[in-house]
Structure 1
Amino acid sequence: MSHTLLGLPYDEWIDAFLPMDDSKVDYMKYNRLFDGIVVGEKDSDMYEPLVRTDKDKKKADGGMYPKGSSAIEQKRTDWATVEVIIECKATDSDPFDERASSGIPHAVTRRDTLAQVMTYASTVFEYQHLTHHFGVVILGTQARLGRWDHSGIVFSSKFDYEEEPAKLARFFWRVAHATPEVRGHDSTATRILPGSADYKTLEAWKAKELAEDDYVARRFVKSLTEHRPWWRLTVADRKHGKEDFLVGQPTFAASGVVGRCTRGYIALSVSGGHGDSPFVYLKDCWRVVHERSELEGDILSYLNGKGVANIPTALYHGDVEDHRTISQDFCKCAKAGCVSEVVRETEEHVMEEEDMPENAEEERKRVVHETSDKNVEKTLDGAGDELLNEATGATSSESNRQSMEGVVDETGDYQHEDDETRDDLYTYTASESLTAFRCRMKLHRHYRLVVKEVGLPLQEFPCGRILVWAIRDAVIAHQDAYEKAKVMHRDISVGNILILPPNGENKQSTYRGLLAEWELSKPLDHNMSDACYPNHAGTWQFMSVHIQDFPEAQIEIADELESFLHVMIYCAIRYLPHTCKNVGDFMYRFFDDCVRRRDAQYTCGALKRLVITTGKLTTLTNEPITFLRRPRLPDPQTRRPSKHSEKFSECPDRLLKVSKKDMHPINVLMTPLLQCITARYRLFHSQLIDSEDSESEEWTSSSSDDDDDDDDEPLDDKEDRLRAQNELKSQSKKIETHEYMIKLLKKASDAYAHLWPGPEDRLPDQRDSTFHLTKPKQMSLKREGPAPDPGEQPANKRLRCGASRE
């Protein structure tokens, strides 16, 4: 969430977000209102006095609630009804820093507070349907007001509520007298309460006897938990009008506040259903508004009309009233009149002139000059705070406390053990250069989409063969979209492939895979017209190495097919038997890791690059990974399975040899795909070396003409080199279209179906939920491309680029 925090003066903040004529309110009577709040050593010492200051008892511990809320009597947080979250800190652990260009403070204690209030806000958005949410942070005798929406967070300036109690009283008064819409409530989402007709309808579904294979109805009933509120949601479609749906707990909910924050529901159609089932799938999200962006429902309808197979069927969709974010409207530029761009000087803090040590500016200029032309990289054991937090919408204060394994600190930052001391000192980072960037806050619009099919997550595949089957269907969908509709998906990920099991409702006799989430897709002609437009968005874990390295390059079929392979590896390493000893470590290093360059951009992590460039699935320490037909617990004496033997992950390497009869068929499938992908990268690097050699020869030709005969490369070496290059071209060409991969997947899942094990190869998740490296959080969901570089990179540093770059 870096660069999604802003600060405004108190008066500007209160009038912008809670506009109201309170000129007749006598705030003088509140002069001594907050005197009873004693700032002690514990934060909890402040709660009760703060609550007692409200004579109407509208506030409970840690929040402001409507009258009648059970939270008031029970003195507990009710996330479904809280109107304002209040966080008290006995010390000045301010979550916002006006001096930092990103707004994020440097001190760990202050970042902890930011993480805490962001977690509270995220939970409120998860339980309620809101356009925005208000909060108060009490910092000793001072306070800040906050407003969260899906574009960012805007804090008010700090004020002393003991010296100026009217400021805090004005906020609470205005919230209490504001309309539900001003308080952030979504008027198209109606809470279903006990005794209502909708409530009785849902209770009737909970009481029904459902068929064993009716997985949709069973999952819908399971979503009707008593721990989450139920809702009636309205979808306004410009062609069909308004349609209402009843939902319970979402089956999927993206974490965080900032971003699209997608939620998915199995929904009961109030109008009676569509086809043989009354259930549909409803997606609620906040889409990014861009001049070239299209509504996902329009994209799906277009693809449906073109006969694209294995994709969802669009029913209804549309923006939700006039719901839009407004935080980005306050993101101002250093130049007068600019509201879309912000100039920032360094990756961390910008030093004020009076805070700078002597000769610091001269030293900075010297370092910038020395490093500006170097491609210096430093490896992060994870995605890095900026990208990770931006993707998840939450802070990572814990990761800031931890030393990063394998990181060489080349920055020369001043280090201070005392957080408060470090907070007061603006650290000078010598390796960082002046950069300009666009404001990270983006305009979002509230959007809902309803599709006919209700699928299961790919990760719930019943056995390895069905995993391959579903991915095969998704690749066929991708081919259809490319060839029939001239559309590229551009966001292949494990969350965007679904499984439709056979049952009596859908009339299917076998499993079927669906390729969903077409929001980020793009017509092929846009790839050519916007050749250098760096606005890629995708799921970091499953991006190709090429797109991670060059996010401004055009996504090609080979990149998408590589992403499908990453999806297969992701599911197989978590749920199939194999020889990998540390699944958490592999998952983290292969999917989440990255390299941060000097220019603050991110490139592919070390393990994924190793696997793709060698064509072998291994760990970072080069231990090969083999998938097995069934779990093995080798006995140290007989090397045969034994339930009394030690755990497989703890066995010595000498006991882990795999015979052919124990090998899983998915090994044979992955190997040729990896070889084709590896050939693509080797061919690229070979061509790059040839290009560099050619340029070098041009520079030296005038001085070495007399020695040409002596320097000629031997004929045999040239022939071997040409033969190897032709082989790479032949292998690489196989993934320039979909046919080869589809043929492999079909052959594996159909022709060789008898070779696959049954459900016994499906295991519980092997990734330890408590796994901890240096940054245990995933860099999930979407990552948008970096801001444009000042200059164009040479064409020989792009894989298959030129006119095809995007």
Structure 2
Amino acid sequence: MDRDLCGNAVRLSLLGFLDKLLPIPRRVLSDRFPPVQMSKISIALEDVFQNYKQRAEVSNRIPEDQLASDFANVINANVLGHCSWGMEHPNTTLIVPIDSNSAAPSSQQTPRQTGMVDEVPRYVIRLSPHSHDLGDAERDSANAALFRKDLELEEGRPNWEHQQVFFHFKQEDSQNDPFDEAQEGEEEALEERKKVWGQLIAYADQLFLYQHRTAAFSLLVIGREFRVMRWDRSGVFVSEKVNYLLRTDALVEVLLAFTVIDDEAQGFDTSATLLQKDSDDYRLMDTLADVNIPFHLPVVGYEEGTPLPKALSPILPQPPSIDTNTVNGHSPGLVAEARDTQVTFQVPSDDSFVFEYVLDYFCQSVTDWPRYNLTVDDEEFLVCEPLYHTRGLIGRGTRGYVAYRKWTRTFVFLKDSWRSIHENVASEREILGKLNTDGVRNIPSLVRAHLFRRHETRLSHYRVNEVLGTKEERKVDVLQGHSNEPHRVKRTYSEMQEEPTPYVPHYGHHRLVLKEVCLPITAFRSSRQLLSIIGDSIEAHYDATVKSKILHCDISSGNILILPTFVLQQEGDMTLHVTWIGHVETADEIESFFNVLLYNVIRYCPHNMELHVPDFINRYFVDFRRLPTGTFECPETKVYIITSDGALKFGNRIITFGRASDEPNEALNTLILELLDWFKARYEVKAYDRSLRSGNSSAPSDPSDRPARCRRIKTEASSTGPAKSGKVFGKKTARRVSKPSAETYELASNLKDHTSVRDLFWQAKSWDWLENEVLQDHLDVLGPLPPVPEES
């Protein structure tokens, strides 16, 4: 076994691949395909290879399409047609493949077992050349795929949700094989290999997106040769390249294995059931998404100030009445009783109503996407198109759904992801469970959580335990498959020799169900409401650090969500209020909350630099600089604003919020300047402390600490006498850092804990905020922008 130095591809011999990943009893192959039948298949495939280009010219088809069509016809007629039968012998039980010494499985890994079906279903290879699903923005489509023969498929579409194995066909050429070893001087061929690799990983990504998979198999046919692959969230196993004209039995064995292993062995997530159109659950989802059919619970709007429907309004206890006709005035005791009486109310329970936006989310998700019944701890949840999903095969593959909980007949949020597994590191469900138990405010309520023990990435279990020989013997090709950049080129041979083997993350399948379905932070309706939302997030951050000793290191706009709640107004009417609810996992700094506030007010709220928002966001949030050490340095604009200036300045012009100069948003401007004063003071103190450690402060220093002599400046006059200008050079030393003032120390102390920032946000709620604020996305700017104004 050889492993790709990038860590995303493990290359095996075909025998090793079959033994580890697709094992079947050898006599099954010989029983179903005796020598006469095998010879017939070989002759038919020889005809395919010899004549597909000529046929392509006659039929005016792309050669790869003709190869796919001719290949599929031979396999359907001569292989798959002989693979369906009822198994009655005892050898149809589980098979346990034995790994070689070169591969070490995880110590916690359960024995790998490959299940075989009792009755082999009928399969067929169907083509989908240059077609894609209507909702697929990427327009991905493999040349062909293996399907169950009895399925009704949409004609001319990839039908991703039904694919068992996908096929990709290329003409015979080394540049069409992304797994060929890189050689010196092959830079031009590498570009084409990069494209093929990008296609393969894009097809695998589509399969994992439309289906619920733990793994997937594929077959790459390059002229007269083939490779078989197994994909999971860590990368891909790939077999050696085999000539199927010389080793027809090898190709037949691979195809036979695809048909006799059960769904779990093929990589299907058996906790997810694909719903058929005639099923009760499928029809139930149609009913729930039908806007003409009233939902069985009251539907509540979510705008701030929305009155609670009468059906949900509680009966409030009335305070004792005060007789206004008393001649001698009110009874002091009765007045005191009236003042002390607490008017209590009960907030409607979550299962007694549904927010309008939640119902909208679910209705919008019920599209042409495949529908599934997902189980979590034996409880069933119905989902269709994800509310969001992360693209890229390698990694977490997170999908978030607004799901219908059948048991309670309510909507919940379901998160399906592959999380990196580390020893002694708490999982998301453990952290949420602890935060819920400790009473941390403004965080999601965990309903169900499950870690699927048998759903772990297989590729990440394998490590190279033996020396693979000299560098010349280890010409291992490098392929990249990360989520954000799936189409990277293979590196040259000389580059690969210098690269160490990186760590391959080990992923496990998690599924979480949360009670609350929230709005994104971008749904805020005013700067004051945004202040309230971030203030609530700070309260959650405070609770998590104090009550649960958990800090959050990933505070961002994506991790802050909005949940409408109910409050009682002075008149006794219950209305909606918007609060924050976030995914609290670890720690972060108060500065991150400021950056979330700044990003959203700059992008959506009115201010005097709206035309320059794209440039500002790029320079402040995006423009990181990579250092030679491999670390990243913050954008210069962010460093300047946070550490040096104490003002929100861009291009020497101070950004002020409000509709116009005569209608400023004083509350927001004051809040931002106050926080910037704190940050500036903090970094001044840090700079001074750092200078003390390096001995470079403005405190009186011993003369012996100074340089013995100045650096000589060579000039033309240096050999004949002093410079005629009379200036003295070379006396500068490193700039001294002055000790911060007492006021600076006091400002910096506001960031030592949550006390001051909590007080600031609570006080800010009572400030005068801009009324009738009109929000719009300032990133939607058309045409070239004028230069950032400079002050003279």
After TM superposition, the score normalised by the length of structure 2 is: 0.68
Counterpart selection for 1:231 from 356, 369, 372: 372
After superposition, residues 3-14 of structure 1 pair within 5 angstroms as: 3-14=7-18
Residue 614 of structure 1 aligns with which residue? Answer: 644
Residue 653 of structure 1 aligns with which residue? Answer: none
Counterpart selection for 2:239 from 156, 174, 179: 156
What are structure 1's unaligned runs of at least 5 residues? 237-241, 337-342, 356-384, 401-422, 522-554, 631-657, 708-712, 772-806
Encode CA deviations 1:507-542: one digit per residue, 9 max, x unaligned: 863001112152xx3xxxxxxxxxxxxxxxxxxxxx
Partner-residue secondary structure (3-state), 1:480:
helix
Counterpart selection for 1:79 from 160, 168, 180: 160
Residue 577 (1) aligns with residue 609 (2): no
Counterpart selection for 1:209 from 277, 294, 308: 294
Worse overlay, 692-701 or 308-317: 692-701
Q: Give the 3 Å change call, closer, same or farther, for CA 501–42 of structure 1 in structure 2.
A: farther
Do the aligned residues in 2 keep the contact of 1:257 with 1:393 (CA within 8 Å)? no
CA-CA distance at 1:2 after TM superposition: 5.2
CA-CA distance at 1:751 after TM superposition: 0.6
Counterpart selection for 2:360 from 219, 222, 228: 219
* C-alpha separation in 2, matches of 1:334 and 1:757: 70
Residue 66 of structure 1 aligns with which residue? Answer: 148
* C-alpha separation in 2, matches of 1:699 and 1:177: 84
* C-alpha separation in 1, matches of 2:411 and 2:782: 32
* C-alpha separation in 2, matches of 1:106 and 1:494: 42
Query: Residue type of the partner of 2:411?
Result: F
Encode CA deviations 1:440-462: one digit per residue, 9 max, x unaligned: x2222111111211111112223
* C-alpha separation in 2, matches of 1:169 and 1:729: 76
Query: Residue type of the partner of 1:82?
Result: Q
* C-alpha separation in 1, matches of 2:149 and 2:485: 31
Encode CA deviations 1:313-368: one digit per residue, 9 max, x unaligned: 112112125211111122325659xxxxxx9x9xxxx887999xxxxxxxxxxxxx
Residue 21 of structure 2 aligns with which residue? Answer: 17
Do the aligned residues in 1 keep the contact of 2:611 with 2:778 (CA within 8 Å)? no
CA-CA distance at 1:477 after TM superposition: 0.2
Do the aligned residues in 2 keep the contact of 1:127 with 1:228 (CA within 8 Å)? yes
Residue 590 of structure 2 aligns with which residue? Answer: 561
* C-alpha separation in 1, matches of 2:14 and 2:188: 19
Query: Residue type of the partner of 1:79?
Result: W
Q: Percent identity?
A: 26
Encode CA deviations 1:7-52: one digit per residue, 9 max, x unaligned: 2222212322212224442355432343314368754443322332
Query: Residue type of the partner of 2:739?
Result: L
Q: Give the 3 Å change call, closer, same or farther, for CA 426–205 of structure 1 in structure 2.
A: same
* C-alpha separation in 1, matches of 2:782 and 2:425: 37
Residue 758 of structure 1 aligns with which residue? Answer: 772
Do the aligned residues in 2 keep the contact of 1:616 with 1:624 (CA within 8 Å)? no
Residue 139 of structure 1 aligns with which residue? Answer: 222
* C-alpha separation in 2, matches of 1:205 and 1:589: 45
Do the aligned residues in 1 keep the contact of 2:697 with 2:738 (CA within 8 Å)? no
Residue 332 (1) aligns with residue 353 (2): no
Residue 560 of structure 2 aligns with which residue? Answer: 497
Do the aligned residues in 2 keep the contact of 1:134 with 1:145 (CA within 8 Å)? yes
CA-CA distance at 1:109 after TM superposition: 2.6
* C-alpha separation in 2, matches of 1:48 and 1:769: 47
Residue 676 (1) aligns with residue 684 (2): no
Residue 787 of structure 1 aligns with which residue? Answer: none
Residue 722 (1) aligns with residue 736 (2): no
CA-CA distance at 1:628 after TM superposition: 4.0
Residue 50 of structure 1 aligns with which residue? Answer: 71
Residue 279 of structure 1 aligns with which residue? Answer: 411
* C-alpha separation in 2, matches of 1:169 and 1:451: 47
Query: Residue type of the partner of 1:731?
Result: L
Do the aligned residues in 2 keep the contact of 1:141 with 1:161 (CA within 8 Å)? yes
Partner-residue secondary structure (3-state), 2:359:
helix
* C-alpha separation in 2, matches of 1:78 and 1:769: 38
Partner-residue secondary structure (3-state), 1:250:
coil
Do the aligned residues in 2 keep the contact of 1:34 with 1:50 (CA within 8 Å)? yes
Query: Residue type of the partner of 1:86?
Result: F
Do the aligned residues in 1 keep the contact of 2:537 with 2:580 (CA within 8 Å)? yes
After superposition, residues 96-495 of structure 1 pair within 5 angstroms as: 96=179, 107-207=190-290, 208-209=293-294, 211=299, 213=301, 214-236=355-377, 242-273=378-409, 278-333=410-465, 390=482, 392=483, 394-397=485-488, 426-427=493-494, 438-439=502-503, 441-495=504-558
Worse overlay, 311-320 or 33-42: 33-42
Do the aligned residues in 2 keep the contact of 1:93 with 1:109 (CA within 8 Å)? yes
Partner-residue secondary structure (3-state), 1:32:
helix
Q: Give the 3 Å change call, closer, same or farther, for CA 424–255 of structure 1 in structure 2.
A: closer
Do the aligned residues in 2 keep the contact of 1:478 with 1:489 (CA within 8 Å)? yes
Do the aligned residues in 2 keep the contact of 1:230 with 1:247 (CA within 8 Å)? yes
After superposition, residues 501-580 of structure 1 pair within 5 angstroms as: 501-502=564-565, 509-518=576-585, 521=586, 559-578=588-607, 579-580=609-610
CA-CA distance at 1:567 after TM superposition: 1.8
Residue 358 of structure 1 aligns with which residue? Answer: none
CA-CA distance at 1:763 after TM superposition: 1.2
* C-alpha separation in 1, matches of 2:396 and 2:551: 21
Q: Give the 3 Å change call, closer, same or farther, for CA 170–510 of structure 1 in structure 2.
A: same
Q: Give the 3 Å change call, closer, same or farther, for CA 702–488 of structure 1 in structure 2.
A: closer
Do the aligned residues in 1 keep the contact of 2:565 with 2:576 (CA within 8 Å)? yes
* C-alpha separation in 1, matches of 2:127 and 2:192: 26
Partner-residue secondary structure (3-state), 1:310:
coil
CA-CA distance at 1:481 after TM superposition: 0.7
CA-CA distance at 1:474 after TM superposition: 0.8
Residue 731 (1) aligns with residue 752 (2): no
* C-alpha separation in 2, matches of 1:500 and 1:271: 23
Query: Residue type of the partner of 1:464?
Result: S
After TM superposition, the score normalised by the length of structure 1 is: 0.67
Residue 31 (1) aligns with residue 35 (2): no
* C-alpha separation in 2, matches of 1:243 and 1:734: 47
Partner-residue secondary structure (3-state), 1:331:
coil
Residue 724 of structure 2 aligns with which residue? Answer: none
* C-alpha separation in 2, matches of 1:591 and 1:444: 30
Do the aligned residues in 2 keep the contact of 1:224 with 1:230 (CA within 8 Å)? no
Q: Give the 3 Å change call, closer, same or farther, for CA 666–201 of structure 1 in structure 2.
A: same
Query: Residue type of the partner of 1:482?
Result: T
Encode CA deviations 1:741-771: one digit per residue, 9 max, x unaligned: 22332333x212x4224351x2147257999
CA-CA distance at 1:121 after TM superposition: 1.6
Do the aligned residues in 2 keep the contact of 1:259 with 1:393 (CA within 8 Å)? no
What are structure 2's unaligned runs of at least 5 residues? 57-61, 82-123, 129-142, 302-354, 568-573, 711-730, 785-792
Q: Give the 3 Å change call, closer, same or farther, for CA 88–512 of structure 1 in structure 2.
A: same
Q: How many residues align?
A: 607
Q: Give the 3 Å change call, closer, same or farther, for CA 569–166 of structure 1 in structure 2.
A: farther
RMSD over aligned Cα atoms: 4.0
Residue 92 of structure 2 aligns with which residue? Answer: none
Partner-residue secondary structure (3-state), 1:205:
helix
CA-CA distance at 1:664 after TM superposition: 6.9
Encode CA deviations 1:122-174: one digit per residue, 9 max, x unaligned: 22111111101122233344333222211222222223334434333332221
Q: Give the 3 Å change call, closer, same or farther, for CA 759–282 of structure 1 in structure 2.
A: farther
* C-alpha separation in 2, matches of 1:105 and 1:178: 41
Partner-residue secondary structure (3-state), 1:279:
strand
Do the aligned residues in 2 keep the contact of 1:111 with 1:395 (CA within 8 Å)? no
Residue 692 of structure 1 aligns with which residue? Answer: 694
CA-CA distance at 1:266 after TM superposition: 1.4
Do the aligned residues in 2 keep the contact of 1:7 with 1:98 (CA within 8 Å)? no
